[in-house]
């Protein structure tokens, strides 16, 4: 359940000890949506995005006031 | 490419000069760190170590070290993370039978087939991810309503993944009708979802609990929120998956790990060598006052219930125990980012 080997394709971490972020580390997408209760931040994650011509994940930050 | 020879710790006995070692940092005696490999362990002095890679080095990090023995202690000159092994390389190395927790992909040929399908049919798939959805906050419920309004017309509907804590403050267990209040929070969520009948019928929801949500508390992996609290929600909304923390999803060939974990503060608390290029973090690491923010230890126990831990127990401990693995902390588009470091053992 908790192992990270082999590395997964994506890791979604709700981590309120830091800001929202999205980072691709080698081939693993790691993202934190931020806290929804403070300013309505959330993430839209698409695991398959072909717009660049190759298969990769896409992540957008969004917010509801 | 320049090749270096890794010396086993056992081989350090009686040798002189600078050596390169690969090992795990452990605390054999309280307050004293050792470098350990399958052959032996040796006390290390990290005070002079130059940190060469990104990320955090904590107890139980696997590190590459350059140093020499001084009076029986390995004086570290340079320290860094070993190379990252990609998912593809790891799967090729150890095979799918040991890696696919779902037991659904028997062969690499099957995996390639799924990747093909993913490209052809998976592009519409979308996950809406929210964390700290405090259902006791009316503002949050209003925002959720707006969220559902926005996605109602999507075809296909996205998957909604909500992470806890699901209330800013839960009623105390001795408080009268405390449980009723908690049930009410999830009923409120159900009512908001039911305003959008298509989402209630077809939308898929994944609820990942935080550490303060009802149920078994501060252990990891943390089981789902007990059914008792969510019966109303599950009866009104057709596809609600009460997940554990952490949990993992499979999307065609992809594996996605979801966790509600305050990782960054833990890494900052536990780092042994100041991270590179972040003076603010360095000051936090050097200065105990800087650690007060999240000083309270909120993750205590690793619950080894899952069979997967057996194959690689070390890895579970590395990320989710008191001892955190190496992570990467970088400045990315002016954001401070964390990503998980390499997982080679």
Whether A13 and B306 lie within 8 Å, measured CB to CB: no
Query: What pairs with residue B302 in β-bridges?
Result: B220
SS3 for A28?
strand
Enumerate the residues of chain A whose CB falls inside 8 A of the CB of residue B255.
Answer: 8-10
Domain range for A48: 10-63
Q: Which residues of chain B have pLDDT under 70?
A: 1, 277-345
Element housing B149 (H / E): helix B138-151
Q: Let me know if residue A46 belongs to a domain.
A: yes
Residue B74: how many other CB atoms lie within 10 Å? 23
User: Mapping DSSP to helix (H, G, I), strand (E, B) and coil, where does residue B293 land?
Assistant: helix
Burial profile B293-313: b = 16 or more Cβ within 10 angstroms, e = fewer: eeeeeebeebbeeeebbeebe
A14 lies in some domain: yes
Interchain pair B265, A43: CB under 8 A: no
Whether A2 maps to a domain, the answer reads no
Determine the pLDDT at residue B268: 86
In a domain, A3, yes or no: no
Quote the tokens at residue B53.
């890679």
Do B59 and B33 touch, CB atoms closer than 8 A? yes
CB contact under 8 A, A1 and B247: yes
Put simply, whether A38 touches B (Cβ < 8 Å) is yes
pLDDT at B300: 36
Q: Taking CB atoms and an 8 Å limit, are A33 and B244 in contact across chains?
A: no
- Best mutation target among B85, B111, B128, B129 (most A Cβ atoms within 10 Å) is B129
- The residues facing B45 across adjacent strands are B75
Is the CB of residue B94 less than 8 Å away from at least one CB of chain A? yes
Predicted confidence at residue B274, as pLDDT, reads 81
Task: Evaluate whether residue A1 is within a structural domain.
Answer: no
Query: Has residue A31 got a pLDDT over 80?
Result: yes
- Rounded to whole angstroms, the Cα distance separating A47 from A56 reads 7
Is the Cβ pair B90, A21 closer than 8 Å?
no
Is the residue at A4 inside a domain?
A: no
> For B138-149, b where at least 16 C-beta lie within 10 A, e where not — what string?
eebbebbbebbe
Nearest Cα to B333, choosing from A24, A54, A3?
A: A24
Residues in A touching B309 (Cβ below 8 Å): 1-3
Chain B residue numbers with beta carbons less than 8 Å from the beta carbon of A12 are 127, 129, 161, 256-259
Report how many domains make up chain A: 1
Domains of chain B, first to last: 9-80 (2.40.50.140), 87-262+297-340 (3.60.21.60)
Beta strands in chain B (DSSP E): 19-29, 32-36, 41-45, 50-51, 62-70, 73-80, 127-130, 159-163, 204-208, 219-220, 239-242, 247-251, 254-260, 301-302, 327-332, 335-340
Residues B11-24 have pLDDT tens digits of 887 788 999 999 99
ipTM value > 0.90: yes
Cis peptide before B165 (omega within 30 of 0): yes
């Amino acid at each position: 359940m908790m192992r990270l080997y082999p590395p997964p394709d994506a890791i979604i971490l709700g981590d309120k000890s830091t800001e929202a972020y999205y980072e691709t580390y080698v081939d693993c997408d790691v993202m934190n949506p931020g806290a929804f209760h403070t300013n309505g931040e959330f993430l839209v994650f698409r695991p398959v995005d072909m717009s660049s011509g190759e298969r990769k994940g896409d992540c957008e930050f969004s917010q509801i006031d | 490419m320049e090749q270096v020879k890794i010396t086993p710790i056992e081989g350090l006995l009686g040798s002189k000069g600078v050596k390169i070692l690969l090992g795990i940092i452990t605390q054999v005696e309280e307050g004293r760190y050792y470098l350990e490999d399958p052959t032996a362990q040796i006390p290390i002095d990290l005070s002079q170590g130059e940190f060469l890679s990104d990320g955090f080095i904590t107890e139980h990090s696997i590190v590459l070290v350059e140093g020499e023995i001084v009076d029986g202690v390995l004086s570290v000159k340079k320290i860094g993370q070993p190379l990252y092994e990609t998912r593809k390389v790891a799967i090729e190395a150890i095979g799918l039978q040991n890696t696919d927790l779902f037991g659904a992909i028997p062969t690499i040929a099957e995996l390639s087939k799924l990747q093909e399908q993913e490209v052809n049919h998976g592009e519409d798939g979308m996950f809406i991810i929210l964390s700290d959805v405090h259902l006791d906050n009316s503002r949050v419920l209003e925002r959720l309503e707006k969220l559902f309004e926005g996605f109602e017309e999507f075809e296909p509907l996205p998957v909604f993944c909500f992470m806890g804590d699901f209330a800013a403050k839960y009623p105390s267990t001795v408080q009268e009708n405390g449980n009723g209040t908690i049930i009410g929070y999830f009923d409120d969520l159900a009512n908001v979802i039911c305003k959008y009948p298509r989402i209630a019928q077809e939308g898929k929801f994944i609820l990942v609990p935080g550490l303060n949500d009802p149920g078994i508390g501060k252990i990891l992996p943390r089981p789902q929120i007990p059914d008792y609290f969510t019966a109303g929600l599950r009866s009104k909304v057709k596809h609600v998956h009460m997940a554990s923390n952490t949990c993992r999803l499979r999307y065609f060939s992809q594996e996605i790990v979801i966790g509600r974990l305050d990782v960054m503060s833990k890494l900052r608390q536990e780092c042994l060598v100041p991270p590179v290029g972040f003076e603010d973090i360095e000051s936090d690491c050097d200065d105990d006052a800087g650690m007060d923010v999240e000083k309270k230890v909120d993750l205590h126990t690793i619950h080894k219930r899952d069979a997967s831990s057996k194959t690689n127990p070390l890895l579970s401990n590395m990320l989710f125990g008191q001892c955190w693995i190496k992570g990467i902390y970088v400045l990315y588009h002016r954001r401070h980012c964390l990503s998980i470091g390499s997982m080679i053992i």
